[in-house]
Structure 1
């Protein structure tokens, strides 16, 4: 089968793929933005250099030879003119051409407006996405402003927008705290349901050969 890499059309799909692969050893990264007209050539370049479209068997062979495996996460919304990309790699040789950071180091990885953080889960460490603290401060300020002005419609719309954001554990936890703040400020309307992120396909296939 020809080599390929998935294209995520939604932020949720792109962010979910990152959480899927970090536990598999893909914890070194670099990121960037490219115009849509150059996105396919960029992906093919990364395949030629780092084998982002390798099959599972080819990845096993590379690992046994001491070479790094790599994959490319692309957020390319339908009709979008800009493509956000994240190159992730395992330990090993062969990625000297990239300045790779480590997801566990600070500052934490920020991508597509969300921050990668660790969280405890059943006696082990897992990863999730959260809103940055600056965005949370803005939401708290808006809740206070709408509550003070008794602007119930605007406050309800804000809470719905929060509920519509990707339902990763960290984001849902933050949304719950914001909802509690709205209640403390006197909001008596119905609170939106906070959905969990379901298992998602990683995206459409972009053929690399």
Structure 2
């Protein structure tokens, strides 16, 4: 770890910040999308599935370029947002946006599978007893789907932490501003004599990834026990 510089530590902290913000704002949207996929008609479900899967199948650089066109300072949305003081391009908030979009499919899929696994008769029984849709979602669907929600959150966090292509295209790799852990690893591999630094950064990334897996396993088991207690 002695090979790491202050800039590298800043990149690690920034990556954690970016990943946490991406998951914090992405989770509600992912959960709503997963729920809509399970309750929509076939045609609507196909459209939603296609849109959700796009960031996973498109080259990350293409996604980053699309974000630049949309949310850049002269972009369709970015120019308007800048008037109210919201800037994404070449800012850490843009890195969080790019990471969140790239992680979105991995957040939605486990949630959708978990919601689909819930017996629809449980929801129907609650509806016949007078429970509103809002009550049924938060008192029945969400607790029973908790393992999938937890898995989606951890998978999304891991993906957001390791996102590189879309992020570097949209916000570049400005030290102290948008230089994330993957970008720092890439920069180290391109620097003569930077092998030790690159290896140290990879070890840091591996430790964070293992910690995320352990947390995911613990949360998943806890959520599973809690869900079984509701049945």
Which range, TM-score by smaller chain? under 0.3
TM-score by length of 2: 0.23
Question: Which structure is higher in helix share?
Answer: 2
Higher strand share: 1
